[in-house]
Copies of this chain bind each other. A is one copy, B any other.
Amino acid sequence: MALTVVGSIAFDAVRTPFGERERMLGGSASHFALAASFFTDVRVVGPVGDDFGPEEIGVLESHGVSTTDIEHVEGGRTFFWRGHYDHDMNIAHTDDTQLNVFAEFVPKLCEENRNAEMLFLGNIQPDLQRQVREEADGARFVALDSMNLWIETAREPLLDVIGMIDCVLLNDAELRMLTDEPNLVVAAHEIMKHGPTIVVVKRGEYGAALFTGNDTFAMPALPIAEVRDPTGAGDSFAGGFLGFLDGLGAHSPSNGELRQAMVRGSAMASFNVEDFGTERVRRLERDEIDARVTAFKDLTHF
């Protein structure tokens, strides 16, 4: 069991109808690692600046996350995102993005990360994802997330790295954009032609769907009366999904294992949105996850 994630480590400033935070731990790798830490050993790869201190490192380490490959860039500043959500919490409005230390980031993996059995390439520039994938040649299962920016500006590099991995996680709009195919079933199987055998479609408040060569699974999101901040929900989903598989030692997962992983991903996303940034997941207890798995069964079975 060893799950390595490369992605952004950030400070986020977020305002929603339920409040605001001027500076909190964020970024795809942070959300992913905290969610995955409930299921397996997680190691984070990514750059931070001088402003990233013991407090932030402590949040990760107190959840058993290895921070050895969090690279401290002297004189640099940590990646920063500012955004807000209005009445409709499904739409994130970006007010400011400062790449800072991420602009010059060249991933360097220690031996343990090169040998990790499972690897998650968080949403970063596709050429960086490919470099990490090539360096981590011990990985038996590799998954990737991306976003509209890279689909528009780095489509070929993105398709290159997709050809080197096992599992793609995208939201439905991204999947449609990448394949130029509006039908999700067709789009998912289009992606599989590039190499991956598993396609996970994230649908925000509507849930998620899983496509493999011989299985289709879909689940709604848990209806939650007070969504306080959806930032990071997709990464928490990915963390729950891959963390669960790695914890099982399922590096060639069966359809049944993948379905169970989808439920853990959905559970972690549902916790994520209940409070700002990582606040809810940070205070989460393991038995709450088990209760939520039961809640998903109650929600969907007939």
Would you call the interface of chain A mostly helix, strand, loop, or mixed? mixed
The residues of B that contact A226 with a CB separation of less than 8 Å are 183
Compute how far the CA of A218 lies from the CA of B226 in the bound complex, rounded to whole angstroms.
18
Check: A185 CB closer than 8 A to any chain B CB.
yes
Docked-complex contact A225 and B300, CB < 8 angstroms: no
The CA of A216 and the CA of B270, in the complex, are separated in Å by 15
- Contact among B185, B221, B297 for A225, CB-based, below 8 A: B185
In this complex, the interface size class of chain A, counting residues with CB under 8 Å from chain B, is: 35 or more
Q: With CB as the reference atom, state the residue of chain B lying closest to A189.
A: B225
Report the minimum CB–CB distance from A267 to chain B (whole Å): 12
Please determine whether B302 and A262 come into contact, CB atoms closer than 8 angstroms: yes
Q: Assess whether A301 is interfacial by the CB under 8 Å rule.
A: yes
| Contact A302 to B183, CB < 8 A, known contacts A207-B220, A218-B223, A220-B220 | no
CB <8 Å contact, B301 and A301: yes
Interface residues of A in 120-169 (CB under 8 A from B): none
A51 to B225, CA, bound (A): 49
| A186 within 8 A of partner (CB) | yes
The answer to whether A89 has its CB under 8 Å from any CB of chain B is yes
- Residues from chain B with a CB closer than 8 A to the CB of A36 are none
In the complex, the count of this chain's copies comes to 2
Instruction: A185 to B225: give the CA distance in the assembly, Å.
Output: 5
Cα of A297 to Cα of B301 in the assembled complex, Å: 8
The answer to whether the Cβ of A248 comes within 8 Å of any Cβ in the partner chain is no
Q: Is A216's CB under 8 angstroms from B299's CB? A: yes
- Say yes or no: B89 contacts A182, CB within 8 Å: yes
Contact of A259 among B206, B256, B259, B302 (CB under 8 A): B302
Q: Which B residues are CB-close (under 8 A) to A220?
A: 206-207, 209, 218-220
Q: Does any Cβ of B come within 8 Å of A105's Cβ?
A: no
A221 closest partner in B (C-beta): B218
CA–CA, A61 and B182, complex, Å = 37
Residues on B with beta carbons closer than 8 Å to the beta carbon of A209: 220, 223
CA distance A182 to B85 in the complex (A): 12
Contact check: which of B203, B216, B296 meets A206 at CB < 8 Å?
Answer: B203
Contact residues in B for A302 (Cβ distance below 8 Å): 217, 219, 256, 259-260, 262-263, 296-297
In the complex the two chains form, is B185's CB within 8 Å of A300's CB? Answer: no
Select which of B88, B89, B219 is within 8 A of A300 by beta carbon. Answer: B219
A184 within 8 A of B: yes
- Contact residues in B for A184 (Cβ distance below 8 Å): 205, 223
Contacts of A259 in B (CB 8 A): 302
A87 on the B face (CB < 8 A): yes
User: B87 contacts A223, CB within 8 Å?
Assistant: no
Can you report 17 residue pairs joining A to B where beta carbons are below 8 Å apart? Answer: A88-B182, A183-B225, A184-B205, A185-B223, A203-B206, A206-B206, A207-B207, A209-B220, A216-B299, A217-B299, A218-B220, A218-B223, A219-B220, A219-B300, A262-B302, A296-B302, A297-B302
